[in-house]
Amino acid sequence: AIDRNSTLECRAPEMVDLFAGVRVDEKVDDWALGCLLYYLCFFELPFGESKLAILNCKFTIPESPPFTPALLALIDKCLTVDPHVRADAWDIMANLCGIRACDDTAGRPDPHSPQPVRHLDPTER
């Protein structure tokens, strides 16, 4: 079932080595989110298709990434081998809120962007 419902590139270590006896639960989704965040930042998967790299959590952050240390730390927290230590949904949300709070432009509209157009009802006069 794991092979049919997931891709190796985003599988958590507990899904790769079922003989380790580690429970497969919602923490695998947090791992997959870490893989996705890594991919969105660096345009490549953190482990490729290597089971050994996944089991050993062997990935590298490229030099001088143009991202905040908080975002890189979040990726690292999601890609933690031990699911008991791995970030959970609440940790991820808190980290993302913290990252957004640090960005003083977040949520602020660009003053040079066009204003929304209000479409009038043709029956309205």
Which CATH architecture fits 2-102?
A: Orthogonal Bundle (1.10)
Q: Please report where in the chains the tokens 């043709």 appear, as a residue.
A: 122
Burial class (CB in 10 A: 0-12, 13-18, 19+), 37: buried
**38-48 pLDDT, tens digit each:** 999 999 999 98
pLDDT at 108 over 60: no
Model confidence, pTM = 0.74
DSSP conformation letters of 57-89: T---PPSS-SS-HHHHHHHHHHT-SSTTTS--H
d(CA 95, CA 114): 32
121, amino acid identity: D
Q: For 55-80, what is the mean pLDDT?
A: 92
Domain ranges of the chain: 2-102
pLDDT at 110 over 60: yes
Q: For 104-111, what is the mean pLDDT?
A: 57
Question: Cα dihedral sign for 4, 45, 58, 94?
Answer: negative
Q: What is the reported pLDDT for 117? A: 66
